[in-house]
Structure 1
Amino acid sequence: MRDVFIIGSRGLPAQYGGFETFVENLVKNQKSKDIRYHVACLSHDKTEKGRHFDYEGADCFVVKPAKLGPASVMSYDARAIKQALKYIKEENIEAPIFYILGNTIGGFIKKYIRKIHKVGGLVFVNPDGLEWRRTKWSGPVRAYLKYAEKKMVQHADLIVSDNQGIADYLTAEYGEVKTRVIAYGTEQMSSRLTSSPTLDKFEVSDYFLIVGRFVPENNYEMLVRSFVTSQLKQDLVIVTNYEGNPFYEELDRLTGFKADPRIKFVGTVYDQEELRFIREHAVAYLHGHEVGGTNPGLLEALWSTPVSLVLDCDFNRKTAEDAVLYFNIQNLPDKLSALPGLSDYDRKIYQEKARQLVQTKYTWDAICQEYEVLFLES
């Protein structure tokens, strides 16, 4: 039996995106009976600390982090590792694998890796995207995250990159890196809805779509500015949690979008059926992300939206290949303006390419099988 301890997600059941969705699918799609997953789960209730519960066959253990502001994430990872090591000793578990999601604890990882190696374990790390480039962090935090990335690469037994672009970046930055590329997956489902309460509320029917975290590095300024200055008759629907975010007012100062009735910030849509419906009926999905790896939102668009217009960067090209249209800051206005005139035939060709790509590379069944092979052969 190979015991795999997953550290760094908020835990199960998944209530967020990204890592949590990945862990949930890894557990739900498990095929091998020779693997036992142990998942750290975040809780702020001190009475729950150390509690174990079963979720889809995975052993979930509750971890309460210290209240340290932004450093709480590091506390959460550190305490999860300590609790896992204690459990390994109590249960006499041999040769465990620790799969750490994210680089947050990287600055302190050396001492934890020593302890894990001492019990015969291995440490795998998924660095996610280039977190240190995110502008939401202050200068000192970004400097720490870059340092943490370096230390993870130096000391981990294996780096699991979700995108070849991440693996290429790490090799270029740090020299020879022991890495394996395993992408994220996405579901191949169509919405069963016949309407969207959100679209009805905002009286939208003909629209472009953006879905993603409301942060500057997702290039909202570039996308919104180009839309505001365009002659497009469609609306721009933006699904994001913008309320209370100071970037909302900053974006208006930069683009003047509030004076344009076509720009519709609709908030967050939590119902996945409705979100699929919104994706499926868009003229095109606009994707401006540039610091991540294989972005889950882009994968969802590849399946659900007939045409996607995607920022031309290495991570996105490695993900979407020739199944989407690409833009840069110079040609974005022209690319946007041309989309409504795209023929039904061309739209069908792009959707067929995108769906074939998803079925070939991004099914959860295939992704989880790759992970099982990795864990069992290590």
Structure 2
Amino acid sequence: MSNQITINDVPVTALPAHKTNPDYHTDKQQVFIVGSKGIPAAYGGFETFVEMLTRFQTDDSIRYHVSRLGKDTQRYMHNGAKCFNVNVPDIGPAKAIYYDIAALKRCIDYCKARPQIKHPIFYVLACRIGPFIGHLAKEIHALGGKLYVNPDGHEWKRAKWSAPVRRYWKYSEQLMVKHADLLICDSKNIEAYIRTDYRQYTPKTTFIAYGADTKRSKLTDDDPQLLDWYAEKGLKSKEYYLVVGRFVPENNFETMIKEFMKSKSKKNFAIITTSNDEFLKKLEGKLHFKDDSRIKFVGTVYDTELLKKIREQAYGYFHGHEVGGTNPSLLEALGSTDLNLLLNVGFNREVAEDAALYWTKEDGSLATLIDKSDTLSKTEIITISVKAKERIQDFYSWSKIVRDYETQFVLD
């Protein structure tokens, strides 16, 4: 008998734990999604993607199955998707690899126990398990199934990894590309990279973007929650530039802070990020940003409506990511913030086109752009803002992304 339970503060319907109970919807296209931390979403990009893919599902001929990183063996329904927990030991950085393998095996075994499931699709998010995928791909093909992979961004370029780990990520990516029946890239630049760097495998690829929305925050301009946050952080509406993202070197926090310190701006620079004491100490040693009262590390904001309002009320937004594909925080900024100043790399230009201003890592580039941005008229800013919102609505809305995925899944 089904009953209600709560996961991430969201009520879901628990399912019985029978391992061999029949699937009563085998006439549907069965799609197994592996690699996110699960839904209901309370994490990052892939989690939000799976949440939206299932929440806005329109094609009833598809049945989604979603793995979740959990400590028990609970099975439950959420957004019409069958979800199952995978318990993974705490083994450090290898935990994500173990999780993907264990979850994918669970999905394969599920189909083996139900021969009435025809032509299942197994969609693996990211390229963590390349050295192990060959055998698993054979099992998938023996079931009449297909292996889809989202290659994500250039994980092997991230500065946080040691040289041996970066070599692993690159090798793993290579093997995932080799064995995938289809690679779904959320960036045209990533798709071009896959087709060029791994042309020896003649990879089959398609482009389906990540999504966002342009809905305004539910909070008003004078909401006490917003005003209290401003008072605590020493900020005022439209009097701060903003950045939201992981505090890691490849997101170019050093360049953004250094250049802001060079600028003549009277505004503040609010940095919403996770803590990284080692990196923070290193940057302070090089830049001495604590001597500049405009630089404000304001911690993290987990309330989605408050964060959206903070984005909306920012004068401008900085985006310094350079190793990913279509970055969720960039889409969110384009959908919320009027003026966006982006690092001039292919990934970012592909998304924003002429709906943003661009800077490079050359000395003085961003500082000059900040000073120029401070002099823009309201009309100029509104023109840029309207273009940004149109970019999201026309090419990156969740409704469009979900339709694109459903079309791909039903085609196969």
TM-score range, shorter chain: over 0.9
1:204-243 aligned within 5 A: 204-205=235-236, 206-242=239-275
Q: What CA distance in whole angstroms lies between the structure 2 residues aligned with 1:67 and 1:346? A: 52
Q: Does structure 1 conserve the Cα–Cα contact (< 8 Å) formed by 2:213 and 2:393?
A: no
Deviates more, 1:205-214 or 1:67-76: 67-76
> Partner residue of 1:103?
127
Q: Secondary structure at the match of 2:285?
A: helix
> Partner residue of 2:233?
202
> Partner residue of 2:83?
60
Q: What CA distance in whole angstroms lies between the structure 1 residues aligned with 2:138 and 2:277? A: 41
Residues 1:249 and 2:286 are matched in the alignment: no
> Partner residue of 2:32?
5
Q: Kindly provide the amino acid, as one letter, of the partner of residue 102 in structure 2.
A: R
TM-align CA RMSD:
1.1
Q: What CA distance in whole angstroms lies between the structure 1 residues aligned with 2:230 and 2:287? A: 23
Deviates more, 1:14-23 or 1:106-115: 106-115
Q: What CA distance in whole angstroms lies between the structure 2 residues aligned with 1:187 and 1:270? A: 18
Query: What's the offset of the Cα at 1:157?
Result: 0.3
- TM-score, length of structure 1 as denominator length: 0.97
Q: Which runs of 5+ in 1 are unaligned?
A: none
Q: Does structure 2 conserve the Cα–Cα contact (< 8 Å) formed by 1:198 and 1:266?
A: no
Q: What CA distance in whole angstroms lies between the structure 2 residues aligned with 1:151 and 1:272? A: 37
What is the total number of aligned residue pairs between the two structures? 373
Query: What's the offset of the Cα at 1:332?
Result: 1.4
Q: What CA distance in whole angstroms lies between the structure 2 residues aligned with 1:229 and 1:363? A: 37
Q: Secondary structure at the match of 1:91?
A: coil
> Partner residue of 2:47?
20
Match of 1:148 among 143, 164, 172: 172
Query: What's the offset of the Cα at 1:260?
Result: 1.0
Q: Secondary structure at the match of 1:104?
A: coil
Query: What's the offset of the Cα at 1:107?
Result: 2.0
Residues 1:338 and 2:372 are matched in the alignment: yes
1:117-128 aligned within 5 A: 117-128=141-152
Match of 1:179 among 194, 205, 208: 205
Residues 1:361 and 2:402 are matched in the alignment: no
Match of 1:116 among 140, 145, 153: 140
Residues 1:82 and 2:109 are matched in the alignment: no
Q: What CA distance in whole angstroms lies between the structure 2 residues aligned with 1:172 and 1:333? A: 35
Q: Kindly provide the amino acid, as one letter, of the partner of residue 36 in structure 2.
A: S
Residues 1:303 and 2:335 are matched in the alignment: yes
Q: What CA distance in whole angstroms lies between the structure 1 residues aligned with 2:185 and 2:112? A: 30
Q: Kindly provide the amino acid, as one letter, of the partner of residue 230 in structure 1.
A: S
How big is each residue's C-alpha offset from its partner over 1:96-129, in whole Å with a ceiling of 9 and x where there is no partner? 1000000011121111101111111100000111
Q: What CA distance in whole angstroms lies between the structure 2 residues aligned with 1:229 and 1:2? A: 56
Q: Which runs of 5+ in 2 are unaligned?
A: 1-27
Q: Kindly provide the amino acid, as one letter, of the partner of residue 19 in structure 1.
A: F
Q: What CA distance in whole angstroms lies between the structure 2 residues aligned with 1:66 and 1:141? A: 20
Q: What CA distance in whole angstroms lies between the structure 2 residues aligned with 1:352 and 1:375? A: 33
Q: What CA distance in whole angstroms lies between the structure 2 residues aligned with 1:192 and 1:94? A: 44
Question: Hey, which bits of structure 1, 4+ residues long, moved more than 3 A?
Answer: none
